[in-house]
Amino acid sequence: MRRFWNLPAVPVYSLLTTDSNGGYNMNCCTYVTPVSMEPKQFLIAVYQGTKTLDNLQSNPHQTVVLQLLAQDQGRLIQVLGRQSGYRSNKIQYLQKRGHLDEWRGFPVLKEAAAWAEMQSLGPLMVQHTVQPKATQAPSTLGDHQCWLFGLNSSRVRRDDCLDNATLRRLGLIR
């Protein structure tokens, strides 16, 4: 039986960030939601311990590209979500295989359903810690860190998008 938190099918994105040397990294995101209509803002949860999070923390107000993956891009999850940007150059891998294009000066996935250029407004800061149960060790606030982004521009290219239900059917996630 599926759990409460994974019942809805949610879109799968890839977030492009820049490191302190000007290099790029892409990482999968599924915890993405619009949180304001005017100005248009999004909240993105970024997994702890990733190069993407390190890139954001080292340059917290950078311009990023959020890419909505298309239905036929499930195969890219092996690179975008299962490989670490610390151990592999995902951009180089994708470039060699012809998956990249350029949009607004950024390397983007050419088959993506949509692209959104966004300005990072920084992390959401929580002023308290989670109190663990008596039987648990002290914990952090979770395995993701939430960041707020303002929309600069976007381009919709296709109507079909990849979702986590499709990844589940393909056996790529549980």
pLDDT at 8: 87
From CA 67, how far away is CA 60, in angstroms rounded?
Answer: 19
From CA 169, how far away is CA 164, in angstroms rounded?
Answer: 9
Average pLDDT (20-30) is 95
* Domains, the chain, ordered by start: 7-126+137-169 (2.30.110.10)
From CA 106, how far away is CA 163, in angstroms rounded?
Answer: 24
Which residue type occupies 5?
A: W
Strand partners, 137: none
Backbone angles phi, psi at 55, to 5 degrees: -60, -45
Assess whether pLDDT exceeds 70 at residue 141: no
pLDDT at 66: 98
pLDDT at 3: 79
From CA 154, how far away is CA 117, in angstroms rounded?
Answer: 6
CB distance 55 to 62 below 8 Å:
yes
At residue 6 the predicted structure's pLDDT band, cuts being 50, 70 and 90, is confident
Residue 55 has a CB neighbour count (10 Å cut-off) of 25
Nearest residue to 164 via CA among 7, 4, 9: 9
Average pLDDT (3-11) is 86
